[in-house]
Structure 1
C-alpha cells in the first residue's frame, strides 16, 4: 500500500469520527457527504435528506409543512449517494492500484537489468567499461533495428550462437533499464494524482445533487458546519496533553491525511472485455510483468488498463472497471522473482533461433497408395459403365 506519512499529530481517525458523530443531524450529514470517500451516509440520514428536500412543485408561496416520503424519493437519494460514493472510492482505489503496480514493475525491471548485467559480466566476460557504456546509451538506443540487424547476421552465419546471445542480452539489458525509467516517471505522475484524489472532498454541485437543496442554502450550511467541525476538533485536540507540544495544524488537510491512511476497500470487478477474453488478458499481463511485451504494445496496453475498456471511461469515473489493474496486482504477487527464474527467462529470451541443418528437410514421402476394396471397385466400375472385369456393360 502507498504509505502516506502525515505530520506528527495527535489527530486520529477515532477523534475525527467522534467529532462528526457528535454534530447535529444536519451537520453530520454535511460532513459525511463532504467526506463521502471515507464516510457512509446511513439510511436514517437518507430519510432526513428526503424529508429536508424542498418540494420542486412549490416554488413560491407557503411551503407545505407535512411532507410525505415516497419509496421513489428515497430510492432517488440512495441511488445518488451510491453513485458518488462509488465514483470517489473507485478513483481512490484506482490511483492506489496504479501506484502499487508501477512501483512493483519499476523494481522488477531494475532486478531484470541487474541480472542481465551480472550474466553479461560473468557468463560472457563483458568488461565494466562496456557495461557502463551500455547503461549510458540505454535511453537513446533503438532496439528493433538492432535486433533486426542481429537476426540478419545470424541467418548469414556471420556470428556464432554465443556472440548472438551476448549482443541480444546487451539489447535486453538496455531495454530493461529504459522500461524501469519509464515506470518511475509514470509512478511520479500517478502519486501526484493519488495525492489529489485522497484530498478531494465531494464538490458542491455533487452534494446539491444528492441533497436536492439550492446552492445558496448549501453554501450557508457548508460554512456553518465546517466551522463548527473545526472548532470542535480543535477543542478535542486541546484536551490532549500532547497537543501543547505540537506545532499548529491545518486541521482540514490533517483530516484528509489521517483518513487516507485507512485500508482501501477493494471493489468487486467483473471481466469487461479487455483483450476480448480473460485468458488473453492474463497472458498479456504476464508478458508485461516479465518484461517481454514490446514497448509500443505496452504503452497502449497500460493506457487500456488505466482507463478501462469502456469508450466512455476517459470521461467518467463511473464507467471505469478495475478488473485489469486488480489482475495485474495478482500476477505481480504470484510471480517467481528468484534470481534463478529471472536468469532462465533472460537466457531463453535472448537465445538464437536454432538453424535447420542442410538436408534435414527431405522431400516429403508420397503417401502409400491405398488399394480399393471389392465394394469400392464395383461402385467405381458401375459409375464408369463397366462390369466387374472392366469391359463395357450392355446394361448401361
Structure 2
C-alpha cells in the first residue's frame, strides 16, 4: 500500500504576521499576548495597554476620559510582559534543548555500543550468537558487580589481559545498549512536553495580569478578535496564489505549528551554582557525554540539569537557568564522534590496571641535600664562636 504524502500547508509565518498587523490595535495586542512566545509587544502597544487599563481607584461610575500615564504604570506593564515572555520562551527553549541533547546522547550511546560490538567481533573473535545473547541480556545485567568481580580476578592473576579486556567490553556493550534505550524513553517524554509547550497559548489569568482588565471584558475581547483573526486568515489563504492547495482544517492549531517551526532564539544564561563550581559542572557534563558517569549518579545529575535543581534555582520557569543544558549541547556538538575516537576511548577504558613487578621496585630516593645560604652559614658560625673563615673568633 502506497502512502500519499499530505500537501504542504499554504500557511506561513509571514502570512500570520501580516494578518495580525492589519488588525486593530486592541486585537493586535490580544493576539500577540496569546502568542507571546512567538511575538513581542512593542513600546507603543504597552502605552496603549496602560491607557486602556481601568483605574483601580474607580470601583464605580464612568471611566475617566482623560487617563494619565505614569512612569510607574508603564514599568509595571513592561515588567509583567517581560516576566511572562521569559517564562514561555524559556520553557520552549528548555524543551527544545532537552530533546536535542537526548537525541544526540541516544545516538552517541548507540555508536559506542556498535563500536564495542565491532571490537568484540573483530579483535577478540567473539561469535555472533554470543553477541546476540549479550544484547538480549542488556536490560538485566548489573555492571558494577561484574566489573568488581573482574577486578578481583585480575588482581588474583586468574585471567589474562586479553580476557580482562574482552569481558570488560562485553559489560560496556550491554551498558551502552541500556543507556541508549533509557535516553530514547526520556526523549519520548520530552517530545510530549515540547509539543505541549509550543502549542500552549498564554492563559487568560496571565493576560489579565498583564493588561489589567476584568475577566469578562478579557473573555469578550478574546472571542471577538480570535474570530476576526481566523476569518481574516481564511480569506487571505483563499485569495492567495496557493489557493490550489488544500487549506488546513484547524487554522488555530496550524498557526502554532507554523510558528513553532521558526528558529529558537537562545537566551543568555549565567552560571547558577550547579555542582558548586563551573569547572566541576563542565567536568561532569563531559563525563556524561562520554558515558563515564555511574547510572545512579547520571539519573540525579540529569534531573538537576533539566529542572534547575541548584542552590540558586527553583522548580519554575521564571527562575530556571539553562546554563547546564546549553553547555551540554555545546559539548555534544564539539565532541569527536568518529569511529577511531570511540575505539580509542573504549580500548583505554577496558585496559587493565598494570601490575608492578617485584624486580622493578626501586628504593625510595633520598631527598636531595639542601645547601645552606650565606646568611645561614654565618649564623651557624656565630653560634659556634667562629668567624667567616671558620677560625675561632676573639669576640667570644
Structures share a fold, TM > 0.5?
yes
Residue 274 of structure 1: CA displacement?
Answer: 1.6
Q: Mean Cα displacement is larger for which, 345-354 or 302-311?
A: 302-311
Matches of 2:218 and 2:347, distance apart in 1: 65
Match runs of 1:258-273 below 5 Å: 258-273=258-273
Q: Which secondary structure does the structure 2 equivalent of 1:209 belong to?
A: helix
Matches of 1:265 and 1:96, distance apart in 2: 11
Flag the 1:380–1:57 CA change in 2: closer, same or farther, 3 A: same
Aligned residues: 389
Conserved in 2, the CA contact under 8 Å of 1:309 and 1:321?
no
Flag the 1:372–1:267 CA change in 2: closer, same or farther, 3 A: closer
Conserved in 2, the CA contact under 8 Å of 1:208 and 1:214?
yes
Match runs of 1:98-109 below 5 Å: 98-109=98-109
Equivalent in the alignment of 2:220 = 220
Match runs of 1:194-343 below 5 Å: 194-240=194-240, 242-243=242-243, 245-246=245-246, 249-310=249-310, 313-343=313-343
Matches of 1:375 and 1:240, distance apart in 2: 96
Matches of 1:288 and 1:374, distance apart in 2: 56
Q: Mean Cα displacement is larger for which, 291-300 or 176-185?
A: 291-300
Q: Mean Cα displacement is larger for which, 102-111 or 264-273?
A: 264-273
Flag the 1:248–1:111 CA change in 2: closer, same or farther, 3 A: closer
Equivalent in the alignment of 1:190 = 190
Match runs of 1:12-23 below 5 Å: 12-23=12-23
Query: Is the aligned partner of 1:118 residue 2:118?
Result: yes
Q: Which secondary structure does the structure 1 equivalent of 2:139 belong to?
A: coil
Equivalent in the alignment of 1:391 = none
Q: CA RMSD of the aligned region, Å? A: 2.6
Query: Is the aligned partner of 1:147 residue 2:124?
Result: no
Q: Mean Cα displacement is larger for which, 313-322 or 89-98?
A: 313-322
Matches of 1:60 and 1:33, distance apart in 2: 28
Structure 2: runs of 5+ lacking an equivalent: 387-394
What is the TM-score with the length of structure 1 in the denominator?
0.91
Match runs of 1:33-48 below 5 Å: 33-48=33-48
Residue 138 of structure 1: CA displacement?
Answer: 0.5
Q: Mean Cα displacement is larger for which, 303-312 or 219-228?
A: 303-312
Equivalent in the alignment of 2:160 = 160
Listed one character per residue, the Cα deviations across residues 241-279 of structure 1 (whole Å, up to 9, x for unaligned) are 544651651111011001111111111111222222222
Matches of 1:336 and 1:363, distance apart in 2: 43
Conserved in 1, the CA contact under 8 Å of 2:115 and 2:343?
yes
Matches of 1:100 and 1:28, distance apart in 2: 33
Equivalent in the alignment of 1:346 = 346
Matches of 1:272 and 1:314, distance apart in 2: 11
Conserved in 1, the CA contact under 8 Å of 2:10 and 2:247?
no
Matches of 2:307 and 2:223, distance apart in 1: 35
Matches of 2:374 and 2:252, distance apart in 1: 97
Equivalent in the alignment of 1:360 = 360
